[in-house]
Amino acid sequence: MTRTTAKAPDSSTPVRDASVRTRRYRLFFLTTYALVLLLFTAVLQRRSAHSDSRLDTIVSLVERGTFALGSPGYDTIDKVYINGRYYSHQPPLQAVVGAAIYYPLWRLGFLLRPPRSVSYVAVTFALIGISAVVTLLFFYQALRFTALPDHLRLPLTVLLGAGTLLLPYGTTLNNHEFTAALLSIGFYYFLKSGEHPSAIVSTVLSSISFGLAGASDHAMLALYGTFAVCVLFQPNWRARLVAFAVPGALALVPTFVYYYLIGDSIKPFAGRPELFSYPGSVWSSSGNSEYQLTGASFNNFRFALMYGTSLLLGSRGFLLYNPTSLFALFGLGRVIRRKDRHWREAIAIAVASAAVIGYYSFASVNSSGACYSIRWFVPLLPPWCFFWPNAMEVFNFRHSLAIKATCALAVSLAFAGALNPWPWPVTYQAYLIPIKNVYRAIAPETAR
């Protein structure tokens, strides 16, 4: 008689099953999120002077082979005058990427023309919608370097995507979402490099991403600078300073070559008030705050303090429109105070964020123009929200009614913004902008 031995159960099977389910849920969410952004983009096709300046440059590059503006149908105020031609005062990186996307569409006969077009949807979604998805994907991966249980990484990723200004600015052409994706990639590879001290490739990828983020939005060079300093204070990292500093700097070179070749100076166009002085220009270094140039002059300390506070907590305050970011900032501060894991990165993010907010507090007065909340700070959201798990160690996110209400409010504000990221006028609507957006979507004929 043969004796049989029962096969021991494979203890790894439940783990594999859970991993497969997690991947499926993640894929389902990212796909659904992309489709939601595509739907908002296609149906609404919201534009502004900010987006038209970029669209005009994209069309000019593809159809006329020049950065000079003048494409049919576009007449934006976001422009400078140099040697008899008008140019967008925005950094060129996003327009170059957009031109690569638009070129095959143009060859197929799909023209990028206002007010509505298939090419607008395709270019905007490829540049901005996909950027939003990339931001969430790398944010999800970055959470792997925290103590957060794996099953909670996806819910926090959903909250970032659906409960912050990443949602409304993922539906219209702008540089903030594009920059947020680059920063998220750079931050992820910086964290990965820290986990594997010999991983020079991750350091280089992080550097290039931070450099490109600075090329896309020059204010975000503050993060590149503070993370370079962070390298110096990471244990056994000083030898890698060159690997972090040089690739990112090289990624910036084409942008400043562009400024020099067209404007005879490496100084960004947006920082040269004289280029905005031309017949019909609405821009000024003083006067109407709505059209006062950022960086043309600087506010005194008292005004900057009051104005900077309003940028965060005023009627369009960034923190009020992203209420869950308060938990993130609490977690970031807690990490610094306790010197928990990633406290050096937390300091780098805090210092860079203070520099960005401080710059706009001293150098601007127009609250980022006619837009939903303060768009300038959108790229800061992913690195801030990385510290949500540290706040969860204090606050009970699952069972606290107040926190659930805050999250629900955040999602409501985000979806209201997606209905129109460029509301006009904004000055007289104040706290009513989200309500007005919804009302205008429901009853556009009667809305005022």
User: What is the tens place of the pLDDT at every residue in 128-137?
Assistant: 999 999 999 9
pLDDT at 422: 95
pLDDT at 344: 96
Q: Would you place residue 144 in the very low, low, confident or very high pLDDT band (cuts 50, 70, 90)?
A: very high
> Of the ranges 11-25, 165-179, 308-322, which one carries the lowest mean pLDDT score?
11-25
Helices (H), 45-117: 49-64, 93-107
Q: Would you place residue 239 in the very low, low, confident or very high pLDDT band (cuts 50, 70, 90)?
A: confident
User: What is the tens place of the pLDDT at every residue in 32-71?
Assistant: 999 999 999 999 999 999 999 999 999 999 999 999 999 9
Residue 94, token pair as written in the block: 């996003």
Find the helix or strand (DSSP H, E) in which 225 lies: helix 221-233
> Which residues 6+ apart lie within 8 Å of 423 measured at CB?
370, 371, 372, 429, 433, 436, 437
Measure the CA–CA gap between 240 and 415, rounded to whole angstroms. 43
pLDDT at 329: 98
SS3 percent helix, strand, coil of the chain, rounded to 5, is 65, 0, 30
- Whole-number average pLDDT of the chain: 92
Angle subtended at Cα 140 by Cα 138 and Cα 145, rounded to the nearest 5 degrees: 95
For residue 212, pLDDT over 60 is answered with: yes
pLDDT at 296: 73
pLDDT at 194: 85
> Of the ranges 258-267, 276-285, 323-332, 367-376, which one carries the lowest mean pLDDT score?
276-285
Within 10 Å of residue 145's Cβ, how many Cβ atoms?
A: 18
- The pTM is what? 0.93
> Of the ranges 149-158, 163-172, 280-289, which one carries the lowest mean pLDDT score?
280-289
Q: Would you place residue 21 in the very low, low, confident or very high pLDDT band (cuts 50, 70, 90)?
A: confident
pLDDT at 290: 65
Confirm if 95 and 215 have CB atoms less than 8 A apart: no
For residue 204, pLDDT over 90 is answered with: yes
The amino acid that residue 281 corresponds to is S
pLDDT at 2: 46
For residue 1, pLDDT over 50 is answered with: no
- Residue bearing the bigger pLDDT, 365 or 128: 128
Q: Stretch 117-123: mean pLDDT, rounded?
A: 97
